[in-house]
Amino acid sequence: MSYSEYFASDQLDTPATEDEIAHAEEALGVTFPDDLRAFWLTSATFNGQVLTADGGPGPYLRVLHPSSVTKVGEACVFGRGEDWDFGVVPGHPTRWVDVERGTGEELSELGATFVGFLESLRGEFETENNLLD
């Protein structure tokens, strides 16, 4: 899959390896969703702004290398934040969530796929910008 709709190519990193992803899964006792694995095989990390639908700068997102993912409650947290962060709860169905780091409480659901998660981020960003205008 091409992520050019969501990420500028100069913001993407070198890919992670299958071995790095498998090692992270083993360490956490989970199987990452196929779409997150596919992203990591495209770019091992991401630290920047997700593009809006019109190609402009959008919401900030940080996706850590698979070896840096931590587990908080049921969520595999793949970003870094202050009190809350983004994570994925692997399983059937997969849930992409905001998670409170201290308690593991899922604050909101942000989709069932990686692309759905990115679309949720875009939607929240657009809503916040519309409220500020």
- Tens-place pLDDT, residues 43-90: 999 999 999 999 999 999 999 999 999 998 899 998 766 678 899 999
Please, which pLDDT band fits residue 17 given cuts at 50, 70 and 90? very high
| Domain spans in the chain, listed from the N-terminal domain onward | 9-132
Mean pLDDT rounded to a whole number for the chain: 90
Mean pLDDT, rounded, for 27-47: 95
- Decide: helix, strand or coil at residue 69: coil
Give yes or no for residue 133 having a pLDDT over 60: no
Superfamily of domain 9-132: SMI1/KNR4-like (3.40.1580.10)
CA 131/CA 133 separation, integer angstroms: 6
Q: Given the structure tokens 């969501």, which residue do they identify?
A: 6
The answer to whether the pTM exceeds 0.85 is yes
CA 61/CA 56 separation, integer angstroms: 14
